[in-house]
Amino acid sequence: MKAPILVVLAAGMGSRYGGLKQMDKIGKNGEVLLDFSVYDAVQSGFEKIVFIIRHDIEKDFTEQVLSRIGSKVKYELAFQDMDSLIPPDIFRAAQEAGRTKPWGTGHALLCAADKIDAPFTVINADDFYGREAFAVMGKHLRSPDCETPSIVPYLLEKTLSLQGTVARGVCEVDNGYLAGVDELTSIEKKDGRIFNTAPDGSVRSLLPETPVSMNFWGFPPSILPEFQKYFNDFLETFSADVKGQIKSECFIPKAVDYFIKKGIIKVKVLPANSTWFGVTYKEDRETAIKKIEEMTADGIYPPTLW
């Protein structure tokens, strides 16, 4: 059985935060949150990292991330650009319509498909997931049950940002398995109430303890052809109404929800009691620095990771 692979969604680094250069120095030695995720993954039995980035951030990514960890872990780079894996006619139509948004996390995963030959975990680059999450997922991906897709969910209230709205995959759990995922893209807490505002203006209230996806998924490589089929359908829908779908994206949670509803897969829920925090906005940085300092003082991380 091959050791699990960590797949990092890093092509969007800096897009909302304000630039990759501003994502450094979470740790005292210039580490970003990604350093701590890679460290936790290695401690949990992951032996290869696949970083999905854009060509235009390759230089910064190499200088600010790979310069620290590149000699300590086995890694490969995959690239997600606007034209990656997109048929020329569809890409041309998207350009003419003025599309500037990327094609989503499902598209990103497919950009790395040729580098994935073992059970793998997918994470966001700008999120902190906690050692417990990696330990639980690593154990699952090394078990005889590794062909069963999995997720480590988090409690909604503990994943919100004080700085603005967030996107979360709201999970429905039934007897230890995922029954569905509803990707909500504008969740916020105001006046003690948590709610999502849909594009049509409708508002949905949410409970603080609602389990949500933070893109911490475990998959066997056999799932990748299903993602390709799903993305092909996404592109077909896009090309049929380019202007109407100009901002649409292919999200992993939406794909997983489709697979579950169609009976293609079952997704095991892995409880981890793990802490999440992120740096979606610039203002989140000071909170992240403080939390990393506390965990380093508690001995969870060494003063120098690499």
Averaged pLDDT for residues 103-127 = 96
Of 12-21, 61-70, 138-147, 273-282, the least confident? 12-21
Low-confidence winner among 49-58, 198-207, 270-279 (lowest mean pLDDT): 270-279
User: Is the separation of the CB atoms in 170 and 181 below 8 Å?
Assistant: yes
Rounded Cα distance between 33 and 204, Å, is 31
| Euclidean distance between CA atoms 211 and 155, whole angstroms | 5
Region class of 168: left (phi > 0), else alpha (psi between -120 and 50), else beta = beta
Residue 48 CA to residue 133 CA, distance in Å, equals: 17
In this prediction, residues 207-235 reach a mean pLDDT of 97
Q: Where are the domains of the chain?
A: 5-297
* Token code pair at residue 244: 């109407």
Rg (the chain; Cα; Å): 19
- State the Cα–Cα distance between residues 110 and 298, nearest whole angstrom: 39
Which pLDDT value is given to residue 97? 96
- Confidence bin at 15 (pLDDT 50/70/90): low
Beta strand 74-79 pairing with 48-53: parallel
The owner of tokens 């639980």 is 136
> Residue 18 has what pLDDT?
53
Model pTM? 0.92
> What pLDDT is attached to residue 84?
97
Mean of the pLDDT values across residues 73-86? 97
Q: How much is the pLDDT for 110?
A: 98
User: What is the per-residue pLDDT for 22?
Assistant: 45
- The neighbour count for residue 223, using CB atoms within 10 Å, is 22
Q: Render pLDDT for 177-193 as a digit per residue (tens, 0 to 9).
A: 999 999 898 999 999 99
Point out the least confidently predicted range of 46-50, 98-102, 127-131. 98-102
Q: What is the mean pLDDT of residues 254-260?
A: 96
CATH architecture, domain 5-297: Alpha-Beta Complex (3.90)
Assess whether pLDDT exceeds 70 at residue 209.
yes
Residue 72 has pLDDT above 60, yes or no: yes
Per-residue confidence (pLDDT) for residue 196, from 0 to 100: 98
- Using the predicted structure, report yes or no on whether residue 16 has a pLDDT greater than 60: no
Section 198-205 average pLDDT: 96
CA 269 distance to own-chain centroid: 17
Alpha carbon separation from 27 to 31, 32, 127, 203 (Å, rounded): 5, 7, 14, 38
The mean pLDDT value of the chain amounts to 92
Please say if the pLDDT value at position 13 is more than 50. Answer: yes
pLDDT for residue 21: 45
pLDDT at 11 over 50: yes
Query: pLDDT grade, residue 237 (50/70/90)?
Result: very high
pLDDT in tens, 17-47: 555 544 657 888 888 889 999 999 999 999 9
Higher pLDDT, 283 or 148: 148
